[in-house]
């Protein structure tokens, strides 16, 4: 039987809520603390898995000692007992203070994670499966060396990643960024040393007819800078798919220069998406 490497790049961190902040109508920032000494964010769009306790549980049930084998170990746990698992992004990591911020979109369809964030109180427990080295597979913003300019698009769920990408980009990097959010009050300062042109699209200011395709319409109507781009697209799965098609079919962007991720899908919970992925893998 294969054994897990002694030093896997991810591990479980049992944490607690230190404080919460309603940063804007659409977002709750939850600051977590605990033993984060081994936590090492790669910056940019650093993703991780978040595990929430089920009602009546003191702490989330996860296969803590499993290392790289956590996934099969997780699947063996009883679905009604194992923690609720979701995927989120590091908004900020302050190693000196031992603090980690997550920005949760407070979407209006009841979901365990957004509901948890809305009601979170200091002391509430949660566990994350996060990186223990900065160079890890949970960072997917990786422009090839010959990139002349960077195109970034995302909805509110991708805003923490977009913030991380902008903070990371080397000084002077040419970047064109579109962000879609619900309300003008959701606008955030996004510090960067890049030469970035950032455009916000606020859904409450858009006509109903184009709300679902606002990012696509904005990108479609824009003139691209000269040179070779690298594109990073994240947000609702259908919107991301349409944007990628536009770049490949109408702008002739090499598909190998596009990183695209559906962060959520209309009408499907993360369990639904995971079940679909597992079924696809099983039939492949
Ligand atoms: C790599 C990655 C990084 C992510 N980072 C973040 C992050 O930093 N912050 C963040 O807020 N989200 C982030 N997301 C998205 C988040 O994981 C999903 O929105 C997730 O579905 C929320 O879980 P939930 O329990 O609230 O809703 P679920 O139980 O998963 O879904 C319940 C219902 O809500 C709908 N729904 C889910 N999300 C939204 C939404 N944003 N708007 C409207 N309806 C929605 C679903 O379609 C479903 O009908 C990330 C996703 C990925 C894959």
* Full set of structural domains in the chain with CATH: 10-136 (2.40.30.10), 149-264 (3.40.50.80)
Q: How far apart are CA 223 and CA 108, in angstroms?
A: 34
Can you give the pLDDT at residue 110? 76
Ligand 1 pocket: which of 27, 43, 107 to mutate (most atoms within 8 A of CB)? 107
CB of 109 sitting under 6 A from ligand 1: yes
Tokens read off for 115: 């509901």
Can you give the pLDDT at residue 1? 46
Tell me, in angstroms, the distance from the centre of ligand 1 to residue 270's CA. 7
CB of 116 sitting under 6 A from ligand 1: no
CB of 246 sitting under 6 A from ligand 1: no
Tell me, in angstroms, the distance from the centre of ligand 1 to residue 207's CA. 24
Q: How far apart are CA 249 and CA 254, in angstroms?
A: 10
Can you give the pLDDT at residue 3? 52
CB of 259 sitting under 6 A from ligand 1: no
CB of 70 sitting under 6 A from ligand 1: no
Tell me, in angstroms, the distance from the centre of ligand 1 to residue 159's CA. 12
Q: How far apart are CA 28 and CA 50, in angstroms?
A: 15
Tell me, in angstroms, the distance from the centre of ligand 1 to residue 114's CA. 8
Tell me, in angstroms, the distance from the centre of ligand 1 to residue 263's CA. 7
- pLDDT tens sequence for the chain (284 residues): 445 556 788 999 999 999 999 999 999 999 999 999 999 999 999 999 999 999 899 999 999 776 778 889 999 999 999 999 999 999 999 999 999 999 999 998 879 999 999 999 999 999 999 999 999 999 999 999 999 999 999 999 999 999 999 999 999 999 999 999 999 999 999 999 999 999 999 988 887 777 778 899 999 999 999 999 999 999 999 999 999 999 999 999 999 999 999 999 999 999 999 989 888 888 87
Tell me, in angstroms, the distance from the centre of ligand 1 to residue 85's CA. 11
Ligand 1 pocket: which of 50, 52, 105, 272 to mutate (most atoms within 8 A of CB)? 105
Q: How far apart are CA 243 and CA 263, in angstroms?
A: 14
Tell me, in angstroms, the distance from the centre of ligand 1 to residue 111's CA. 8
CB of 270 sitting under 6 A from ligand 1: yes
CB of 111 sitting under 6 A from ligand 1: yes
Q: Which atom of ligand 1 is nearest to the CA of 102?
A: 8
Integer distance in angstroms from the first to the last C-alpha of the chain? 23
CB of 107 sitting under 6 A from ligand 1: yes
């Amino acid at each position: 039987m294969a054994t897990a490497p002694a030093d896997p790049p991810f591990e479980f961190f049992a944490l607690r809520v230190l404080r919460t902040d309603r940063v804007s109508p659409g977002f709750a920032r939850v600051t977590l603390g605990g033993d984060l000494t081994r936590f090492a964010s790669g910056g940019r769009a650093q993703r991780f898995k978040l595990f929430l306790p089920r009602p009546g549980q003191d702490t989330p049930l996860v296969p803590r000692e499993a290392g790289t084998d956590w996934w099969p170990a997780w699947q063996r746990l009883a679905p009604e007992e194992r923690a609720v698992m979701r995927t989120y992004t590091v908004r900020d990591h302050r190693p000196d203070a031992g603090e980690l911020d997550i920005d949760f979109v407070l979407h209006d369809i009841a979901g365990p994670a957004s509901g948890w964030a809305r009601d979170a109180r200091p002391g509430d427990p949660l566990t994350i499966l996060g990186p223990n080295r900065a160079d890890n597979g949970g960072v997917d913003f990786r422009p090839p060396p010959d990139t002349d300019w960077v195109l970034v698009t995302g909805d509110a769920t991708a805003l923490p990643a977009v913030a991380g990408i902008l903070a990371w980009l080397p000084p002077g990097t040419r970047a064109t960024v579109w962000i879609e959010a619900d309300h003008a009050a959701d606008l955030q300062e996004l510090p960067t040393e890049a030469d970035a042109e950032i455009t916000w699209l606020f859904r409450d200011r858009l006509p109903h007819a184009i709300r679902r395709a606002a990012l696509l319409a904005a990108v479609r109507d824009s003139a691209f800078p000269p040179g070779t781009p690298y594109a990073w697209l994240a947000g609702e799965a259908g919107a991301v798919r349409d944007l990628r098609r536009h770049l490949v079919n109408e702008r002739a962007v090499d598909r190998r220069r596009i990183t695209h991720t559906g962060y959520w899908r209309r009408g499907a919970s993360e369990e639904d998406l995971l079940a679909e992925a597992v079924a696809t893998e099983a039939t492949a």
